[in-house]
Amino acid sequence: MKRIAILFTCLLVGLMMLPVVATAQTTTPTASSTKTAEGTRKDPIPRGQSVEIGDWTVEIVGFRQNANEIVAAENQFNDPPAVGRQFVIATMEITYHGSDIGDLTYLQFKAVGESNVAYTTFDDSCGVVPNDPYSVSDIFTDGTVKVNYCWSVKSSDVKSLLIYGEELLNFDDEPVFLNPRKN
């Protein structure tokens, strides 16, 4: 709860400091694994393939369909998942390409499965996880981090689970869907 309050406060302060000017965004492909899929729910970006989300390049490099033991081992005070649910972890490699200082709190990732109800890292939190994205400080231009996003999801959603992400406060772009499983 304390982490959510701090994050919310930082977001509000950041909103008050944003200039009200539009800037053109340009992106350049990084590696040969640049996106070829559409990034929609019907055609998600495959695991191991990178995609641009605003000033960021994102790639899912790992996925644990049952991360209950990992979460339990990370912190003795983490609660187990509720009955009928399990923790899943998507390991992402994220690079910032903006000209200012990047902050991972401006990227939001959710998960969705066949139940068609989104899971957030706040409402469906796992507790403390290794390589938590919210513990990463500033990221400078072309800086790369490897972090774990974790959700508590219905066990029945795990096999159909997709991750989708978007840059906060970017109301022009649609969310980008990523398939965390190997194809």
pLDDT tens-digit map of 144-177: 999 999 999 999 999 999 999 999 888 778 999 9
Q: Where are the domains of the chain?
A: 37-177
Buried b (16+ CB within 10 A) or exposed e, 141-177: eeeebebbbbbbbbeebbeebbbbbbbeeeeeeebbb
Greater confidence, 106 or 3?
106
Full-prediction pTM beyond 0.85?
A: no
**Under a CB-based contact definition with an 8 Å cutoff, are residues 152 and 86 in contact?**
yes
Lowest mean pLDDT among 19-23, 99-103, 126-130, 164-168: 19-23
The hierarchical CATH code for the domain 37-177 is 2.60.40
pLDDT at 37: 63
Lowest mean pLDDT among 29-33, 42-46, 127-131, 132-136: 29-33
What is the DSSP secondary structure assignment for residue 13, as one 8-state letter?
H
Furthest C-alpha separation in the chain = 48
Distances (CA, A) of 127 to 3, 167, 170: 10, 23, 28
Quickly count: other Cβ atoms within 10 Å of residue 56's Cβ: 22
Say which residue the tokens 């709860």 belong to.
1
User: How do residues 38-94 score in pLDDT, each as one tens digit?
Assistant: 899 999 999 999 999 999 999 999 999 999 999 999 999 999 999 999 999 999 999
For residues 163 and 178, give the distance between their C-alpha atoms in angstroms, rounded to a whole number: 5
